[in-house]
Amino acid sequence: MTSPDDKSFSWRQIGPFSELSKKKCRLMYSSDGRDADVCLFYVCGEFFAMDARCAHSGGPLCDGDIEEADVLQVFCPWHDYDFNLRTGKSSTGLEQHVYEVKLENGTVYVKHASDLSLQPFTLVKEN
């Protein structure tokens, strides 16, 4: 018997730094479906990865405003909850999952349980 929790996290190749550093936020599609999509942020010279659907009611965090102050955070566009890009924590007590990001030989990787892609997955997974 398997469940999503049985999957081991591994480094997923996302793309070249030269391209990914041009935008503050991009949506990365998960092979596990919409609820597992991830935002890749590039803010103040650092990458951060966080679940793309807000822990409150599923708002699209990739469309949120990003604050570049002492604390780097994104504000959900639906109800303005704040989420720390580094920890995923919100002053509301909610928390987003965050994921490790690494840069190796000019390529960006995110550690995640599913495949991640900048393009939507077109194949529907069979159970």
Q: How far is CA 1 from CA 5, 31, 42, 65, 114, in A?
A: 11, 19, 38, 41, 18
The two three-digit tokens of residue 22, written as one number: 């041009």
Q: Would you say 39 or 54 has its CB closer to ligand FES?
A: 54
Contacts with 100 (C-beta within 8 Å, 6 or more apart), sequence order: 49, 110, 111
Segment contacting ligand FES (CB under 6 A): 40-48, 50-58, 103-111, 118-126?
50-58
Query: Hey, which residues between 89 and 118 contact ligand FES (CB under 6 A)?
Result: none
* Closest distance of CB 67 from ligand FES, Å: 15
Q: Under rule CB under 6 A, how many of the chain's residues touch ligand FES? A: 9
Binding site for ligand FES (CB under 6 A): 54, 56-59, 76, 78-79, 81
